[in-house]
Amino acid sequence: MRIGVHPNNLHLRLARVWPGAFAGLDPIFVPYGEGRDTASLLESGAIHFGGTGSTPPIEADARGLHIEYVAASAPRPANGAIFVRADSDIGSVADLAGRKISLIDGSFHTYLLARSLEGEDLALGDVERIESGTRDSLTELLEGRVDAWVAMSPRLEKAIGRPDLRLIVRCGATIPNRSLFWSLARIGLSPSEIAGIASELARVGGQIAADPVRAAHLLAENDHSGTDAEAWERVVRSRDLSVVPIDGAVLAEQQEEADTLFRHGHFDRTVAIGGPLEATE
């Protein structure tokens, strides 16, 4: 089983170094740069499944790739937020209109921003989305090159409490922010393989939650960003690492996100989760 692992999926990142993880599936862990690459790696056969935020599988379904959902994490309300500078004249989401927002576009950042804006009768088109890419978003915010920053773990934990930053939105009040583990129908995972993956994700998650200190040290030993074990321990302890099989409630959340992003013009057609694309008029 070729398992895709990118730095922002903490569950699979830890599974790669956790003793015995996925042993029954003869695992080959395939590292790659970021969650938005998951669909292309699945499409090429380089991996058999991966884990991302909620948005990349919807992006893949929008391309007609026919997603096979495998499992879902618990909601992760602490893993995303929008910050501005402490001295900014932006007091709330309503003040983001016309401003530059740094984010990883096409990730859950886009959905968090869209739902936050909707609460103020704004849309994605009312702000300027700046792709963060490999740039240092925090530096760009502090130097005034962007007006707000959509952040996630582990940088989020370092940002909270900084005197030069102010938090205006937290994920938990806006979106479920689950991790989704998924494949493509063309890969042909069997029902027993899907059940086995979901079961192993849940087992490993339980072991990690029971030993956050060990998990934090494993992350720090394999981290090139300079995040230390103490910071990683805060991240691990903040997560509900339980994993559940896909059910109707999770698919309904995905459909709600797809519909929201269509309303905001992120997609040029509706996306039916678990079904074909609907034609535009």
The pLDDT score that the predictor gives to residue 162 is 94
CA distance 68 to 273: 10
Residue 281 has pLDDT above 60, yes or no: no
What pLDDT is recorded for position 58? 96
Checking if the pLDDT of 114 tops 60, the result is yes
Give yes or no: residues 119 and 249 share one domain: no
Task: Describe the strand order of the beta sheet including 180-184 as a list of residue ranges.
Answer: 50-52, 180-184, 67-73, 243-245
261: its two tokens: 């992003």
**pLDDT over 70 (residue 215):** yes
| 74-100 pLDDT tens trace | 988 778 899 999 999 999 999 999 999
What whole-number percentage of the chain has pLDDT above 70?
97
Residues 68 and 193 in one domain: yes
pLDDT of amino acid 54: 95
Q: Where residue 174 falls among pLDDT bands split at 50, 70, 90?
A: confident
Structure tokens at 254: 């995905």
Which pLDDT does position 161 carry in this prediction? 85
Indicate the pLDDT class of residue 231, thresholds 50, 70 and 90: confident
**Matching residue, tokens 């938990």:** 172
For residue 31, is the peptide bond before it cis, meaning its omega torsion is within 30 degrees of 0? no
Least Cα distance to 138 among 154, 128, 150, 130 occurs for 150
According to DSSP, residue 54 is labeled S
Q: Tell me, what CATH number does 232's domain have?
A: 3.40.190.10
Both tokens of residue 225? 């960003």
Six token digits for residue 275: 């079904």
My answer on whether 192 and 146 are in the same domain is no
State the pairing for strand pair 67-73/128-131. unpaired
Burial class of residue 72 in the structure, from the number of CB atoms within 10 Å of its CB (0-12 exposed, 13-18 middle, 19+ buried)? buried
- Considering the domain architecture, whether residues 117 and 132 belong to the same structural domain is answered as yes
- The answer on 240 and 158 residing in a single domain is no
* Closest CA relative to residue 47, chosen from 164, 184, 153, 148: 184
> pLDDT tens for residues 51-78?
999 999 999 999 999 999 999 999 887 7
- In angstroms, the Cα distances linking 230 to 40, 159, 213, 235, 238 are 35, 15, 9, 9, 13
Segments forming the whole domain that contains residue 64:
2-75+178-263
Q: Are residues 44 and 91 in the same domain?
A: no
- pLDDT at site 153: 81
Q: Looking at residue 40, what is its pLDDT?
A: 97
Is the pLDDT assigned to residue 280 strictly greater than 70? no
Distance set, CA 234 to CA 92, 121, 137 (Å):
27, 35, 21
Q: Is the pLDDT of residue 28 over 50?
A: yes
Kindly state whether residues 97 and 69 are assigned to the same domain.
Answer: no
- Any idea what DSSP says for residue 200? H
Number of neighbours of residue 7 by Cβ within 10 angstroms = 17
Which of the four pLDDT bands, split at 50, 70 and 90, describes residue 227?
A: confident
- Residue 277: DSSP 8-state: P
Same domain, 14 and 137: no
Q: Which two tokens stand for residue 140?
A: 């760009």
Same domain, 190 and 169: no
As a whole number, the mean pLDDT across the chain is: 92
The whole-model pTM stands at: 0.89
Residue 276 within a domain: no
**Alpha-carbon span 246 to 181, nearest angstrom:** 9
Question: Is residue 149 exposed (0-12), middle (13-18) or buried (19+ Cβ within 10 Å)?
Answer: buried
The model's confidence at residue 277, banded by pLDDT at 50, 70 and 90, is very low
**Is residue 220 domain-resident?**
yes
Does residue 276 register a pLDDT over 70?
no
- Taking 90 as the threshold, does the pLDDT of residue 133 lie above it? no
Q: Is 210 exposed, middle or buried (0-12, 13-18, 19+ CB in 10 A)?
A: exposed
- Which of 155, 173, 191 delimits the end of a domain? 173
- Which pLDDT score is estimated for 76? 83
Q: Identify the band that residue 278 occupies on the pLDDT scale cut at 50, 70 and 90.
A: very low
Query: What is the Cα gyration radius of the chain?
Result: 19
